[in-house]
Structure 1
């Protein structure tokens, strides 16, 4: 015979209390301070712990191209457009020629790094935009200075 019991994990008079700026006592009785932050979208969330340099948090992102990889230090609240500007100095590709992929999706210039989940030591893939590459080849092929070998 099997005996089944139901367990109540939380009671209505439990000691778990959540409020902004106050400490909470968990189930194990340890009290800790929760720090909150307001995201650009207006959502109030628990603050993440990042490596602090002075007053500003800095994360390091590994950006990989087809043949090279670069470690870029940037603020987590920066946008992918700002990351592209930093990469243009390192790679020589203009920002409009770059395509950045994070977690298998191409990211837009206005998206914030921390809003899509980029953390310290995460990897971002950098590709050259194929349409820009194709246009550049068409301009070179249509150039009046091209030489034709017979």
Structure 2
């Protein structure tokens, strides 16, 4: 075998160095480009997510505004109904007072007190229960 001379060794080392620089440079450039593309994709994805969150918040806010409007209308309706009920109660109270005065003037006996009415109803219920137990089915 022949002994390599220094020029051949130098040329081989230069060729290997150039090859390493080319491969390393290509890998470095490829890594840099890939990293930048990944960063751009992540930024775009983040922006898309933020836009979706904003859209959902606007949609929910509109729904809450609609619900709030319905609640306000329901509250207004309930207030009007309460006013009507209060007016009806006042009218009924005045009518009862007038009817009481008319009954007194006509000589009608007063109504049965509440506790007596409850006692009468309890007696009627007991009698109905006895009749149900005694009647054949």
Please classify the TM superposition score into its range, dividing by the shorter chain length: under 0.3
Greater gyration radius? 2
Q: TM-score, normalised to structure 1's length? A: 0.22
Q: TM-score, normalised to structure 2's length? A: 0.23
RCO greater where, 1 or 2, for CA within 8 Å and sep 6 or more?
Answer: 1
